[in-house]
Chain A
Amino acid sequence: MITLTHYLVLSGIIFTIGVIGVMVRRSALVIFMCIELMLNSVNLTFIAFSRYLNSLDGQVFVFFVLSVAAAEVVVGLAIIILIFRNKATVNVDEINLMKW
């Protein structure tokens, strides 16, 4: 029998992997993907609670998280492309100036 705790533990593990990715990786694109991973693990928590509490509010919230994630990806990738155009790198260690 799969309980709510199983889903919460899985979601916590995936979130932690995403956090490790953000901390360890130095490519802005991969950091961005890890942020998407963290958003997804939170979505899993929402849906697991929605299932076990007999409420659909969690699923509606996941819908909103999805649309915010789509908007965030569009703007974030545009910013990454602009940074690459200016500095010819997406390594976050080398992007340390607000203006150059």
Chain B
Amino acid sequence: MLETVLFYFFAGAAIISALMLVMRKNPVTCAVSLIITFISFAGLYILLNAHFIAAIQILVYAGAIMVLFLFVIMLLDLKREEDFLSRLKAQKFFGIALAVILLAEVFAAISSINGMFLTRGIYSAENIAEAGGNTKVIGRLLFTDYLLPFEVTSILLIVAIIGAVFLGKKEN
């Protein structure tokens, strides 16, 4: 019962704030509603027993990435923001129509899942609790089965840092 109430609360908050992100003109309002979406997603992750992902969702997404976005919004002098329903009517009409078609396709795909062909793994909620909790089990997986992708991720982050420093350098 509580799970149902919390699911609909977080889902409603996520959808409403996502709509605000698309509709509002002021980019700061957009960024703040995106933060609300991220926090509702973290709540949904906790409902799904993914505690570690919920924590880094708040830390990395709602914290680091959105602060970066807000910094850039305030750094740039964004005066001319467009109206949601003003210019390029045809493009907006076709964009929304195509997105609705995409949504219909996604729903068709979801309704065709019957669960028969899906095999279940060993990490049930009881097994994870017995092995020491979600974070501990994910940490062990990252450093055993997923060691190579984990190290490649660190290289990717270094490349991103170098790229940002190179791009941000003043040209002389």
Contacts and interface: CB of A to CB of B under 8 A. Distances in A.
Given A19-B102, A20-B96, A55-B121, A74 B142 contact: no
- Label chain B's interface by main secondary structure: helix
Interface size on A, as a range, is: 35 or more
A55 B127 CA distance: 11
Contact of A17 (B18, B94, B124, B141): B18
B116 interface: no
Interface in A44-94: 44, 47-48, 50-51, 53-57, 59-60, 62-64, 66-75, 77-82, 84, 89-91, 93
Given A60-B145, A81-B75, 20 more contacts: A2-B3, A17-B19, A23-B92, A29-B69, A34-B21, A37-B34, A44-B45, A54-B120, A54-B124, A56-B121, A60-B141, A63-B142, A66-B60, A72-B160, A74-B164, A78-B167, A78-B168, A84-B76, A90-B78, A91-B82
Closest 4 CB pairs of A and B: A23-B95, A55-B121, A71-B160, A12-B106
